[in-house]
Amino acid sequence: MNSPLTGLNPEQQQVVLSTHGPVLVLAGAGSGKTRALTHRIAYLIQQGIARPDEILAVTFTNKASAEMKHRIQGLLGSAALTPRAVSTFHSMGVKILREQTHAHGRSHGFSILDSKDSEKLVRRILKQENYSLKEWGSSAVRGMLSKIKQEYVDSPAFAEAQTPKEAMLQKVFPKYEHMLAEHDAYDFDDLLRVPLRILRANQAIREMYQLRWKFLSIDEYQDTNAIQDEIISLLLGKDRNICVVGDDYQAIYSWRGASVDHILQFEHRYPGCKTILLTQNYRSTPNVLDAANTVISQNIDQKHKTLWTTEKAGEAVQVLQLSSDRFEAEWTCSSIREYVSKGGALKDCAILYRTNAQSRLLEEQFLTHRVPYTIVGGFRFYDRKEIKDALAILSFYLSPSSRVHFERVADALLKRVGPKTIDRWEQTAKEYHISLQAYLEYMNDRPDIASIITTFQKAREQTFEKVSDLLSFLITNIGYLTMLQNLPDGKEREENVQELFNVASAYTTTEQFLEDTALLSDIDRLEDQQDRVTCMTLHASKGLEFPIIYIIGCEEGLLPHNNSLSSQSSIEEERRLLYVGMTRARKNLTITYSAYRYIGGEMTPQAASRFLEQLPEAEQAFQENTFIAHSSDVSDFLHEDPTLVVSAAGSYVQHQKFGRGVVIGTSDNNLTCVFEGHGVKSVPTNSCVEQE
């Protein structure tokens, strides 16, 4: 077993050797913070300072926690020595809730509702209260409820309503909470809010966890919100053995409740704190770092540090002004195709932007030129209907009182069973003090329901080695796969369900499988081996790295965004956002902005972002002769149709395989169309018949 100090630079070694008391590690982008943190945990165990079960390490994504476990196991050479409590904040919350069922109002097998399931509850309540769904969208109201939960750990004491919105929330919030309790479920906000409530109120439980977890490690500390930070403070024992790692330069999530003040004020809150700076960068070239350092140095409310590297100088950072947003997309696509033609890989390239709407023109270019791409934040695998149906069947099997999951099962498999019918059944079940599933078993003689209950009974009589075996048994015997096979796109949907079986084959515990699928994020599913261009927002790029980075739309109104111009702190966060994007680049960084952008139906003049003004002269020089346009000048260009479609936009066509679709783009002998049930496809023009 090698020493955990092997291969670390002096500052990283200092992190490892600082084992007791509060420790603040300010780790710059690409400085090996995860390496330092995992080696520190391995050192604590190897030296006998802490047992594996005395360590709690919290990260923000499942991917990060899995990587941390893998690295620690590799250092220690044994899975038995690896701490089990390496998890995300939400997974830690679930663990506390599962262990402390006597301290809250749910069973051990409570369900976790994702945002879509939560919206379904909200929609039902809005209908019951006679609110217009057009006026009060379920998604928007769900967001309002989430904000209330983040602000109020305990139930909010509503003042007298002054606006229609406040009056609506006063009615909907308590009903929403009541429905969650009835369905034996929690939403994502509850996974942190309820554990905090338990830790606040129950000293015995609080002290139990303090004695269990004597050494706390928190990754990405700059991203913690008030609830997360208080949970950590309550779990911290009297010895104050806490190590937080983060970078205030990368604090970009205030919009979801994160506070950069947690890391900026850590030394004040924990007197005697040891602060260590990690500034040696192992990712980027000096050119990229010089540009990024210059941009972020303009912020005032930061703990300033300068990143450096021993790497040789690489290509200069390019800052390009392009004639329009459309040509910006064309140029970016062309640049990537040229890179690939010289032997590069598509997966080396990532395009970052401030808003999701900016991806549209890029997607049109990629579709036109048949360039494979991935939109991080696009349609999720776990949001597909057949996947949600399969997970609902498994969840209802596990949680017999889950109305939300039975509604989805009924919608997929039962005819003439709507909310009113389920209301009646649920009410009868409550009168008999039994679960909804028990009512269906003993008091309903419908053959289709009997098939579901019989399948559940047979499953409970067996032992399944893997969750995939149980899931396959339920899905097959209930008849869901047969139902899929009868659909026009059944083969594709069945393949998706088979992929879900592949995921479930790695699990032996049903609860863990459902927790992980509920907590998965888009970044967790980004597969490195796929040879395709990656497109994502700057916010989504945090924690990733690529050889080639393009940051597009670096203009006033986009970066900084118009919504962030009201305060200096908001503008500084926007500057940090650009810094995060810049430091994703390993070798080549290109920043573009458009002279004109199509906004509100008009070509509108744009100004370069104020953040570009401070770039070093070596980078600024690239702006002088890079106003790249078509052969015509801008005045001529403005008379062109500003969208990709030049002739058949909006036309309806019929395709033999994909059915009816609407044309959104044309190129040479191809049409780019949106087909219902199949999404965007590029097809030969002669394969379609135009319709009225």
DSSP string, 106-162: S-TT-EEE-HHHHHHHHHHHHHHTT--TTTS-HHHHHHHHHHHHHH-SSPP------
Judge contact between 640 and 655, C-beta under 8 A.
no
**Cβ count within 10 A of residue 67:** 15
Question: Cα separation of 250 and 581, whole Å?
Answer: 10
Q: Choosing from 12, 224, 250, 537, which is the catalytic residue?
A: 250
Q: Is 677 annotated as a binding residue?
A: no
Q: Is 27 annotated as a binding residue?
A: yes
Q: Is 33 annotated as a binding residue?
A: yes
Q: Is 329 annotated as a binding residue?
A: no
Question: Cα separation of 427 and 436, whole Å?
Answer: 9
Q: Choosing from 34, 368, 374, 510, which is the catalytic residue?
A: 34
The answer to whether 279 is a known catalytic residue is no
Q: Strand 670-675 and strand 274-278: pairing? A: unpaired
Contacts with 336 (C-beta within 8 Å, 6 or more apart), sequence order: 346, 349, 371, 533, 548, 550
The answer to whether 33 is a known catalytic residue is yes
Length of the chain (residues): 692
The CA-based diameter of the chain, rounded to the nearest angstrom, is 79
User: If 0-12 CB within 10 Å is exposed, 13-18 middle and 19+ buried, where does residue 691 land?
Assistant: exposed
The answer to whether 34 is a known catalytic residue is yes
The angle at the Cα of 103, spanning 98 to 104, to the nearest 5 degrees, equals 75
Rg (CA), the chain: 27
Question: Cα separation of 490 and 278, whole Å?
Answer: 53
Judge contact between 41 and 55, C-beta under 8 A.
yes
Helix %, strand %, coil % of the chain (to 5): 50, 15, 35
Q: Is 34 annotated as a binding residue?
A: yes
The answer to whether 127 is a known catalytic residue is no
User: Reduced to 3 states, what is the DSSP secondary structure of residue 609?
Assistant: coil
**Cβ count within 10 A of residue 465:** 9
Question: Cα separation of 252 and 207, whole Å?
Answer: 34
Q: Is 29 annotated as a binding residue?
A: yes
Question: Strand locations in 327-458, DSSP E?
Answer: 349-353, 373-375
Question: Cα separation of 292 and 286, whole Å?
Answer: 10
Q: DSSP state, 520?
A: -
The answer to whether 165 is a known catalytic residue is no
Judge contact between 351 and 550, C-beta under 8 A.
yes
The answer to whether 220 is a known catalytic residue is yes
Among 591, 587, 598, CA closest to 577:
591
Among 332, 328, 318, 367, CA closest to 637:
328
Q: Choosing from 117, 184, 190, 220, which is the catalytic residue?
A: 220
Contacts with 458 (C-beta within 8 Å, 6 or more apart), sequence order: 473, 477
Q: DSSP state, 658?
A: T
Q: Is 237 annotated as a binding residue?
A: no
Q: Choosing from 219, 248, 325, 515, which is the catalytic residue?
A: 219
Q: Choosing from 12, 33, 247, 672, which is the catalytic residue?
A: 33
Q: Is 543 annotated as a binding residue?
A: no
Q: Choosing from 584, 597, 606, 666, which is the catalytic residue?
A: 584
Torsion of CA 672, 673, 678, 682, to 10 degrees: -20
The angle at the Cα of 294, spanning 299 to 571, to the nearest 5 degrees, equals 30
Which residue ranges are tagged as binding site? Answer: 27-34
Indicate which residues carry an active-site annotation: 33-34, 219-220, 250, 584
Which residue ranges are tagged as binding site for ATP? Answer: 27-34
